[in-house]
Amino acid sequence: MQVLKTLESDAAALGLAAPSSSTQSIILAHVMDQEHNFHKVSEQFTERLYGLSGCSLTVSHHIGGDLSD
């Protein structure tokens, strides 16, 4: 839970908690497959970040090294 509290405070400090008029997108890439715990946590991170950003920041997931080495 400390990670989520830190994420919330960092998002607020960066101004992500305030709604924005434009949507931004970032890419989250990793080499793990969908069954790995890291991927499951990254999905939770994505949902939390989306909510904290006022639905103005989306994350595009690329798993299993599909962006190359």
Domain chopping of the chain, boundaries = 2-62
Copy the structure tokens of residue 6: 């830190």
The answer for residues whose C-beta is within 8 angstroms of residue 55's C-beta and 6 or more apart is: 19, 23
pLDDT tens digits, one per residue of 46-60: 999 999 999 999 899
- Which among 27, 25, 21, 17 has a CA at the least distance from the CA of 53? 17
Query: How much is the pLDDT for 66?
Result: 85
| pTM for this prediction | 0.59
